[in-house]
Amino acid sequence: MDKEISQAVIARLPRYFRYLGELKDSGVERISSQELSRLMHVTASQIRQDFNNFGGFGQQGYGYNVEYLYTEIGKILGLDKKHHLIIIGAGNLGQALANYMNFERRGFIFTGVFDINEKLHGKMIRGMKVRPMEEMQEFVRENNIDIAVLTIPKEGAAAAAEKLVGMGIKAIWNFAHVDLDVPDSVQVENVHLSDSLIKLSYMINQYENELEEKEKNASGEA
Amino acid sequence: MDKEISQAVIARLPRYFRYLGELKDSGVERISSQELSRLMHVTASQIRQDFNNFGGFGQQGYGYNVEYLYTEIGKILGLDKKHHLIIIGAGNLGQALANYMNFERRGFIFTGVFDINEKLHGKMIRGMKVRPMEEMQEFVRENNIDIAVLTIPKEGAAAAAEKLVGMGIKAIWNFAHVDLDVPDSVQVENVHLSDSLIKLSYMINQYENELEEKEKNASGEA
DNA sequence: TAGATTGTTAATCGATTAACAATC
DNA sequence: TAGATTGTTAATCGATTAACAATC
């Protein structure tokens, strides 16, 4: 059995993939862990360790072939496969994601939008008409939907998630501000925007407190 | 000098704050680390360690007073202070965040929106008219803006960030798909939505590979 | 071949968990 | 007082960094 890959490594993979994509696009053919280290502001040692979780992609004395590494990491990330995706909740955020995310670029196929609000039914969002929630089950089955993007208020999120689990969905990209309780067979990635903004508030506060302390110390020494 | 708080702890604080807020709202007066542990699916030991980074908020034999702890964590997070915030980029995502985020609830005061696109100038978004980028500098100074929400394409993000730094902004909530290079005095919180979705793709892939392996092993043993 | 750089083992560092004395 | 539960120290675990032999 393969060794378990740590969450820390997994969280770093998309960033490697992004940098390698940019290097590839700008025509860079090869790169050493040290060069990549300088570019990404992480240690060369960590880069080599991370890659070696998945096998040896480099060559001693040469470094890594950018295009090859990019492709391999893409495969590790499952980006060589197509994923069919629906959006649950056609409000501000749901609409924005549909229009903004450029899903198709990475093999995510935007297939439908659902909302409980009757007034939205039939409205077109990125070429798809908004459907009532009642049609979801049939739709998911018929269109082989893998991923549900949950952009509804937190009150309805748990119930929606349970329904989705029952339909055999593989993953939920959760923007609702609750932690969903689903079986291990269903993958959940949370995007808790409020938590992220609150963290920013903490960092501002922290920095200002440190400044104050420094000033106090400086005046004390003077 | 106080001991440095680890990133891991900081990242957990908003979640504690959220759970405590919900407990408070549902009228719970006190909670032990063990009860909270069961609720949040983290160890009681970690909860106590995390809180004790900031001082003793509990009482032996009793546990934690929910309202008090909620208030104290709020202060640690800087949520007792008001933060003035502008959105740079009035596209899909910028508009959605303005309408969806409920900034005021946590003391973030939505003060203005800016965009390079002339067609959007004057359009009203959540009660604020979209302004041209040229007015930004004066606006930031006059309105004491603390936080800029960056919802523009990645091409313009670095330049915008540099301008904002020059204006003395305190923090950037960055939705552009690049890693910004700013001085330590400016806090950056990245929300890389594509990275998040790619991580979900990895998790789906990983789970399916594991399943396959298990089946293979099972048939081998049979 | 000599130089460069990986892959990998070992050392260090930090974060999490366990244990328990302090104390409400 | 006895029971409960914190605050905190110690033990464990895991992740990061350093070092270097393998090898292109």
Q: Which CATH number do you get for residue A153?
A: 3.40.50.720
A46 and A98 share a domain?
A: no
A119 and A39 share a domain?
A: no
Instruction: Answer yes or no: is pLDDT of A134 > 90.
Output: yes
Instruction: Answer yes or no: is pLDDT of A1 > 50.
Output: no
pLDDT value of position B35:
98
Interatomic distance A63 CA / C5 C1' (Å): 6
Nucleic strand C interface residues, CB < 7 Å: A 32-34, 44-45, 48-49, 51-52, 56-64; B 6-9, 42-43, 45-46, 48-49, 59-62
pLDDT value of position A212:
86
A48 and A99 share a domain?
A: no
Q: Do A203 and B189 touch (CB under 8 A)?
A: yes
What is the DSSP pairing of strand A171-174 with strand A147-150?
A: parallel
User: Packing angle between helix B44-52 and helix B33-40, nearest 10 degrees?
Assistant: 110
pLDDT value of position A218:
79
Domain count, chain A: 2
In the chain, the amino acid numbered B19 is Y
- Of B55, B76, B97, the residue at which a domain comes to its end is B76
Q: What is the pLDDT of residues A203-219, one digit of tens each?
A: 999 999 988 888 887 77
CATH for A69: 1.10.10.10
Instruction: Sort out which chain B residues have CB atoms less than 8 A from A205's CB and list them.
Output: 76-78, 81
A64 and A162 share a domain?
A: no
Is A36 contained in some domain?
A: yes
B91 and B183 share a domain?
A: yes
The DSSP line for chain B is -PPPPPHHHHHHHHHHHHHHHHHHHTT--EE-HHHHHHHHTS-HHHHHHHHHTS---EETTTEEEHHHHHHHHHHHTTTTS-EEEEEE--SHHHHHHHHHS-GGGGTEEEEEEEES-GGGTT-EETTEEEEEGGGHHHHHHHTT--EEEE-S-HHHHHHHHHHHHHTT--EEEE-SSS-----TTSEEEE--HHHHHHHHHHHHHHHHHHHHHHHHHHHHH-
Average pLDDT, chain B: 95
Instruction: Answer yes or no: is pLDDT of B2 > 60.
Output: no
B27 and B107 share a domain?
A: no
Q: What is the pLDDT of residues B151-210, one digit of tens each?
A: 999 999 999 999 999 999 999 999 999 999 999 999 999 999 999 999 999 999 999 998
**Alpha carbons A55 and A67: distance in angstroms, whole number:** 16
Interatomic distance A61 CA / D23 C1' (Å): 8
B109 and B202 share a domain?
A: no
A119 and A186 share a domain?
A: yes
Interatomic distance B23 CA / D3 C1' (Å): 25
Instruction: Answer yes or no: is pLDDT of B218 > 90.
Output: no
Q: Which of B204, B206, B214, B221 is the mutation pick for testing A, counting most A CBs within 10 A?
A: B204
Q: Do B14 and A199 touch (CB under 8 A)?
A: yes
Average pLDDT score over residue span B74-83: 97
A91 and A173 share a domain?
A: yes
B149 and B181 share a domain?
A: yes
Do the Cβ atoms of A136 and A89 come closer than 8 Å?
no
Torsion sign (Cα): B35, B39, B45, B46: negative
Instruction: Answer yes or no: is pLDDT of B11 > 50.
Output: yes
Across all strands, nucleotide nearest B63 (CA–C1'): D5
Q: What is the pLDDT of residues B83-95, one digit of tens each?
A: 999 999 999 999 9
Q: What is the pLDDT of residues A85-101, one digit of tens each?
A: 999 999 999 999 999 99
**Alpha carbons A44 and A54: distance in angstroms, whole number:** 16
Is B2 contained in some domain?
A: no
Annotated binding-site members of B for NAD(+):
89-94
The residue that leads in pLDDT, A69 or A4, is A69
Q: Which of B198, B207, B209, B211 is the mutation pick for testing A, counting most A CBs within 10 A?
A: B198
Protein residue at shortest CA distance from C1' of C16? B46
A63 and A99 share a domain?
A: no
Instruction: Answer yes or no: is pLDDT of B104 > 70.
Output: yes
Annotated binding-site members of A for NAD(+):
89-94
Instruction: Answer yes or no: is pLDDT of B214 > 90.
Output: no
Q: What is the pLDDT of residues A163-200, one digit of tens each?
A: 999 999 999 999 999 999 999 999 999 999 999 999 99
Interatomic distance A191 CA / C9 C1' (Å): 38
Residue that the structure tokens 């400044």 belong to: A211
- Whole domain around residue B35: which residue ranges? 7-76
Is A138 contained in some domain?
A: yes
- Of A36, A61, A76, the residue at which a domain comes to its end is A76
Across all strands, nucleotide nearest B44 (CA–C1'): C17
For A54, the token pair is 């998945």
Annotated binding-site members of B:
89-94
pLDDT value of position B101:
96
Instruction: Answer yes or no: is pLDDT of A131 > 70.
Output: yes
Instruction: Answer yes or no: is pLDDT of B1 > 60.
Output: no
For B96, the closest chain A residue by CA position comes to A92
- For residue A157, give the 3-state DSSP assignment: helix
Instruction: Sort out which chain A residues have CB atoms less than 8 A from B13's CB and list them.
Output: 198-199, 202
For B196, the token pair is 């998040």
B217 pLDDT band, cuts 50/70/90, is confident
Instruction: Sort out which chain B residues have CB atoms less than 8 A from A179's CB and list them.
Output: 15
Is A49 contained in some domain?
A: yes
Under DSSP, the state recorded for A133 is: G
A221 pLDDT band, cuts 50/70/90, is low
H-state helical runs in chain A: 7-25, 33-40, 44-52, 66-76, 92-100, 136-142, 154-166, 193-221
Average pLDDT score over residue span A146-156: 97
Q: Do A202 and B76 touch (CB under 8 A)?
A: yes
Average pLDDT score over residue span A30-59: 97
B97 and B181 share a domain?
A: yes
